[in-house]
Structure 1
């Protein structure tokens, strides 16, 4: 079983766990995910592994965003001065960058490496909590479907970063008095974005994407665990606390539906918080979770 492999993994590397706990806790606190993690009913060892998976996923996404930033800067460097002052040409560069299959493949691999195991961890924990005689399979179809659905969400995530950069480019073009000034301003924005200090290739965005994927993975795994238990009847939406929780999610708080029915959240129908088949505006940066209903 998956849980047995977790124990073996941790026993072989206890020193590593001890060294990384403080860093992981700082990450989780910064991401404001304590309440979410508390809802998963994990053992100490499982929680530490979940934090490690979260950190691995975030690190991998940082790497992917850095590559995207470098690719943007290279593409900008190849444009003529005239093209650098044309928002239409810059838009074509951004679209080509963010629709590249290369980055789609990288995001999918990141999900498989870090967030699919998180899906399995959350799912098995819920299943064994309900029936410790049940055996969780890491080869279940739900986990593979989750990976594909997350990939389908990546274009929506990229669209927001495309819009952000194009607005910055448009402002730079308006502020430049000559073609050379406009070109320099656009190149400067591209260079800042590529460093990851601000904008769509920054650590802030990596955390946002990671949180989106981790919420989807953990909640998707929970739902699959409940299904495999064959005793769960329904599910209840639990909104994250705090003023940053969007209105549609606060309104969904307490909503109860059958296990195989979706929640109604805004105009979306979500099987669980973070469900990547829903609208991006109801998923990005979501911290909600759900509770089991047995009768």
Structure 2
């Protein structure tokens, strides 16, 4: 039998290498593992829901699988959803990670300016993104299930063949849960860094930092961006796509998934030299613009 704890340790060791430039690497690995466990369970339950729906519809129709497909099985399957559950799990995760990273990042930049809370506009963004990601994952899974059924029918397979194919389908595997958990946890970390940069009076810009281990196949465009700086309100150009930070949700999947890049702040030493009162006054003015 496969030892899951051994696999997890090996995955974590590899992830440490990939995230070597992240100051909060151990925290991030812990949060990735937590979200992965939740998503893996949701995917297993979602597959079970699909199999139950197929079995019930097939028994009701009482004909071949092909006949069941023609009689409206895809419509029945369309009502099988995990979007609300994904959103419900993701929102607090994003908020917790973003808040933690914002706090630790601000402390590293300037101990005189203490993080208090994520801005309301950022909270609204994370809620909208959680809802959208739930819908996207739901639709991608539904498309895959439809493909599995159609492929099985082309091979003149039975309902049992369809169910076995779904049990073997990688879209329901732990690997998918982990891939999503890594991408979205690191996205939350980028959101937290960006929040800290904007709330820190001394930060005037952002520098992209490529990060990855020896086994990681880096994107040439991301490597080329390493060391590139931009203003706080400007964007990085990622092969023609605009982003405020790595894994920005405005980026395409090919630029976000498996990206382990991070950022570092560009700091004005003159502002760092101001009194704590002066810096916090500047910060309050910035926060007011976030409402």
| TM above 0.5 | yes
Distance 1:152 1:273 in 2: 19
- Over the residues paired in the alignment, what is the CA RMSD in angstroms? 3.0
Are the aligned partners of 1:128 and 1:134 in contact in 2 as well (CA < 8 Å)?
A: yes
1:108 aligns with 2:87: yes
Are the aligned partners of 2:35 and 2:181 in contact in 1 as well (CA < 8 Å)?
A: yes
TM alignment of 1:163-182, pairs within 5 A: 163-176=143-156, 181-182=157-158
Q: 1:53 to 1:243 in 2, by over 3 A?
A: closer
2:79 aligns to what SS in structure 1? helix
Displacement of 1:72 in angstroms is 0.9
| Structure 2 partner of 1:70 | 48
Render the CA deviation track for 1:100-133: whole Å, top value 9, x for unaligned.
3xx2232222223433211111111110111112
Task: For structure 2, list consecutive stretches of 5 or more residues without a partner in the other structure.
Answer: 269-291
2:110 to 131, 137, 148: 131
Give the count of matched residue pairs: 256
1:203 to 174, 198, 209: 174
| Structure 2 partner of 1:184 | 160
TM alignment of 1:1-295, pairs within 5 A: 26-30=10-14, 32-36=15-19, 38-42=20-24, 48-80=26-58, 81-82=63-64, 84=66, 86=69, 89=72, 91-93=74-76, 95-97=78-80, 100=81, 103-141=82-120, 142-176=122-156, 181-190=157-166, 192-193=167-168, 198-241=169-212, 243-294=216-267
Displacement of 1:211 in angstroms is 0.8
Displacement of 1:93 in angstroms is 4.8
Are the aligned partners of 2:65 and 2:158 in contact in 1 as well (CA < 8 Å)?
A: no
Distance 2:165 2:105 in 1: 47
Are the aligned partners of 2:65 and 2:153 in contact in 1 as well (CA < 8 Å)?
A: no
Distance 1:166 1:252 in 2: 39
Q: 1:245 to 1:61 in 2, by over 3 A?
A: same
- Could you list the structure 1 runs, at least 4 aligned residues long, displaced by more than 4 angstroms after superposition: 21-27, 81-85, 87-91
TM-score, L = length of structure 2: 0.75
Distance 2:135 2:21 in 1: 30
TM-score, L = length of structure 1: 0.74
Q: Greater Rg, structure 1 or structure 2?
A: 2
Task: For structure 1, list consecutive stretches of 5 or more residues without a partner in the other structure.
Answer: 1-20
